Structure 1
């Protein structure tokens, strides 16, 4: 009953796409440039002999000369196989509705590894694309409204599945306490990553629940949607924990909002000396 009440109380957000979305200009050059930078600078230990032009061909063949409505996660299978890591990844951080913060928090893989820190995420991050049947095979004018994001969403679904399958050891997921509900059963995390979070490869999932200063929280650890998440996680043999604004999360939030009430530190009396 509580879950039903939560649904009624939640504000319904419709996540639409902007008018006039089109393929990122010079996407081939951007993609190949990122590929070369990643394999030569970000993580040169992966594959020194990688051919970025070949990877572009595998990537673009998933949607080039195809209607955007016909692109699925399976369309990217060849590209995913060619770029996937052969080693299990530790320190993995999943996220939902916290993308900019999580990138700052993980600091390029130094405090955790997000999908954007991997080669699969790095090369396509914030790019947009769609194909067309006619030449040149890529639509640089205006992706059709009925399937405007289909090729992009299918890509991120495919690489999210692979990212979760490569994760090993305890993992974290950073969720936004201002969302309603906090855990959405139809979200990308729930659809693609959660089904691949399995024991014994992943023994534990820890929810970091982010409460942003100045924004009202709709749920805390133990709330209805997070209880649903806990049941789904433990049913896979994975243990579960949740922390509201862990100290490292809070300290980083307070850098952006130092005057927020939760960011005020207790100070000593002016008569005290600290040296």
Structure 2
């Protein structure tokens, strides 16, 4: 009768090797998962907005069907997909304008001449104004601005998931993050497409209304702005209004007798 011991030894060796390989694989996977989890927690900014993709789609449908129905031919599903593809699986600190070009091609919205409103540190007031003057547009009254307003987003290199724990802070981590690059791009496009009379809502009673300390329309930073605008042969007018409460009331109720 043949000796079966060598065969058993081979079987035991194979089992041992399988267990060893399995253990190594488990360790590698565990390390990668730990590193992935650590990467999710390393940034100093707020994580991606919960339900980001659902919100993008909902806002797109609302804007194209109710707010500006003349844009109802825009494909919101493709817009959501292009938005996500712009940043997903990429280093959140390596964003470029080119990442958003496919998305920009899908929105392609032009604001009519004389209808553009810029703002700086006066978001609430500017938006109250465009709510009353419904044919006026801030950046957030455009399709892309409307969709992305107050949202945050980022992913991780090599991952198909969004990072809901943390995203890069533009000062503490990097300025070329996907949120900052996005707003720089859409702001630039919004400004480049402006034509005719352009209105700018600034708060001249705060410091740095325009780069430097300013108190009113006669303040130094506003004067700087006036000179820059006039050097480009653009008409500049500035109106002081020291009662912000009354101004807001008049924006909401322009027919009020106290506003005349």
Q: Same fold, TM exceeding 0.5? A: yes
Q: Please identify the structure whose Cα radius of gyration is greater.
A: 2
Aligned counterpart, 1:251: 246
State yes or no: 1:119 paired with 2:143.
yes
Cα separation, 1, equivalents of 2:98 and 2:241: 37
Query: How many residues are aligned here?
Result: 207
Which structure's residues are more often helix, by fraction?
2
Q: 1:163: how far off?
A: 1.1
Partner-residue secondary structure (3-state), 1:172: strand
Secondary structure in structure 2 of the residue aligned to 1:243: coil
TM-score normalised over the length of structure 2: 0.70
Q: Supply the distance in 1 between the matched residues of 2:242 and 2:112 (Cα, whole angstroms).
A: 26
Distance 1:40 1:59, change over 3 A: same
Deviation at 1:101, TM superposition (A): 1.7
2:197 alignment partner in structure 1: 170
Report the Cα offset of residue 126 of structure 1.
0.7
Aligned 8 A contact 1:88 1:166 in 2: no
Counterpart contact for 2:118–2:201, Cα < 8 Å: yes
Q: Over aligned residues, Cα RMSD in angstroms?
A: 2.8
Deviations 1:72-112 (A, max 9, x none): 33422221222122464432110000011211122175263
Aligned residue runs from structure 1 range 33-112, under 5 A = 33-46=58-71, 48-86=72-110, 88-107=112-131, 110=134, 112=136
Q: After TM superposition, give the deviation of residue 21 of structure 1 in Å.
A: 0.4
Separation in 2 of the partners of 1:152 and 1:255? 34
Indicate if the aligned counterparts of 2:111 and 2:194 stay in contact, CA closer than 8 A.
no
Distance change (3 Å), C-alpha of 1:239 and 1:218: closer
Q: Hey, what does 2:17 align to over in structure 1?
A: none
Q: Which moved more, 1:81-90 or 1:173-182?
A: 81-90
Q: Pick 1 or 2: higher relative contact order, CA cutoff 8 A, min separation 6.
A: 2
Does the Cα contact within 8 Å between 1:24 and 1:140 map onto a contact in 2?
A: yes
Alignment of 1:5-44 (within 5 A): 21-44=46-69
Report deviation, 1:40. Answer: 0.9
- Partner SS for 2:239: strand
Offset of residue 239 of structure 1: 1.6
Name the residue aligned to 1:147: 174
In 1: Cα distance, 2:202 partner to 2:231 partner: 20
| Structure 1 spans left out of the alignment, 5+ residues | 1-17, 186-216, 257-264, 266-275
Paired with 1:109 and 1:119, the residues of 2 have a C-alpha distance of 17
Unaligned runs of 5+ in 2: 1-42, 252-257
In the alignment, which of 124, 128, 135 is matched to residue 159 of structure 2?
Answer: 135
Q: How does 1:162-241 map to 2 (within 5 A)?
A: 162-184=189-211, 218-241=214-237
